[in-house]
Structure 1
Amino acid sequence: MDLPIIKYSKSEYIETDTGNKVSRKSVICGSQNIILGGKTILQTGSVIRGDLRRTGPGQAVVVSVGRYCFLSQGCVIRPPCKTYKGAFSYYPMKIGDHVTIGEGSIVQAASIGSFVSIGKNCVIGKFAIIKECSRIEDNTVIPANAVVPSFTIYSGSPGRLVDELPESIQEIFEARTKDRYAKFVPSTDV
């Protein structure tokens, strides 16, 4: 399926030296604790919570996002948290390369591997691990601490294995995310 060209207002997006395109209407809290790998797009209304981190001295990377990732409108990325030995704490989240997170999805995973597609209105529970080369269908709820294996499709509430992906999915996801980035272009209107 060929992706359409998405035109955006150049005044609405900030483009970084590494090619990240960040909407001025996205919410980035604690930017010093967030790493964007490059050529990542944060659409209007997307939220990344880098301010939710362990207390104490020094800086810590709270959210790490890989290259060619696409965070759709209204999605929320926040690090997982839990109480351990009487102390409430947040833990870092790592998102791999070539990951797409759909509109309205809420993600609190411990890690998301590379070449992953998360659909619209999904909930990824605390400390879930989404392995590389997997797909989460729209409106799916992945429970806390769940592990989604590689080359699988999960759907439902709670999310269950519904199908498997071919071994060529890595190339398909990579081509799709690079194509999406290439077709996310500034509008020529003045």
Structure 2
Amino acid sequence: MELGVTTYKKGEFIETDTGNKVSRRSLIFGSQNIVLGGKTVVHSKCTIRGDLRRAGLTHQAAVLIGRFCSLGEASVLRPPYKTYKGVFSYYPLKIGDHVDIGENSVVEAASIGSHVRIGRNCIIGRFAIIKDCCLVEDNAVIAPNTVVPSFSVVAGGPPAKVVARLPESTQELFEAYSKDKYSKLVPQ
């Protein structure tokens, strides 16, 4: 699938030294607790909740995002939480490299592997684990604590189910797609 060039107004994104492009219209809370690996795009109205983290853990990031990721417009990323022995705690949200999260999706997973595409309007439940090389179809609802195996296509829900398997070439295809998408996001 060949991507066309997407242009934006020069002042719309802040570009970091590592090539991250963060929309000025995104909502970033607790930025000191968010790590972007480089060449990641945070689109407008995307919300990242870095302020939700375990109390007392000063050196642990709340949200870790790898390289060449794309966080869709109006998507929400927040760390998962649970109550254990009467204590309410947040846990880190870890996202690998070459991950594409679609518009209006809500992610509260424990981890998302590398080379993953999450469609539009998806809900990824608390403490879900999505392994490497997966495709989550539009409107899928992954239940909390679900583990999605590598090379799976997931659709439907709640709860979403594995409906197909991806080929072994998925890693190369998703990597090429994410690099192409990043390179074709250019200022006017």
- The TM-score normalised by the length of structure 2 is 0.98
Quote the offset at 1:57 in angstroms: 5.6
Aligned to 1:168: 169
Question: Helix, strand or coil for the counterpart of 2:83?
Answer: strand
Q: Equivalent residues in 2 for 1:39-188 (5 A)?
A: 39-56=39-56, 58-157=58-157, 158-187=159-188
- Look up the equivalent residue of 2:141 and give its one-letter code: V
Aligned to 2:21: 21
Q: CA separation of 1:57/1:107 partners in 2, compared to 1, >3 Å: closer, same or farther?
A: closer
Quote the offset at 1:156 in angstroms: 0.1
Question: Helix, strand or coil for the counterpart of 2:181?
Answer: helix
1:4 aligns with 2:4: yes
- Look up the equivalent residue of 1:104 and give its one-letter code: N
Question: Helix, strand or coil for the counterpart of 2:48?
Answer: strand
How far apart, CA to CA, are the structure 1 residues paired with 2:154 and 2:55? 35
Could you give the per-residue CA deviations for residues 12-52 of structure 1, whole angstroms, max 9, x where no partner exists? 10000000000000011000000000000000000100000
How far apart, CA to CA, are the structure 2 residues paired with 1:135 and 1:76? 18
Quote the offset at 1:169 in angstroms: 0.3
Quote the offset at 1:60 in angstroms: 2.2
Q: % of aligned pairs identical?
A: 61
Could you give the per-residue CA deviations for residues 65-99 of structure 1, whole angstroms, max 9, x where no partner exists? 00000001000000000001110010001000000
- Look up the equivalent residue of 1:105 and give its one-letter code: S
How far apart, CA to CA, are the structure 2 residues paired with 1:135 and 1:57? 33
1:30 aligns with 2:41: no
- Look up the equivalent residue of 1:48 and give its one-letter code: I
How far apart, CA to CA, are the structure 2 residues paired with 1:108 and 1:133? 19
Between the two proteins, the alignment pairs up a number of residues equal to 187
Question: Helix, strand or coil for the counterpart of 1:172?
Answer: helix
Quote the offset at 1:55 in angstroms: 1.3
Unaligned runs of 5+ in 1: none
How far apart, CA to CA, are the structure 2 residues paired with 1:85 and 1:136? 34
Quote the offset at 1:58 in angstroms: 2.3
How far apart, CA to CA, are the structure 1 residues paired with 2:58 and 2:50? 14
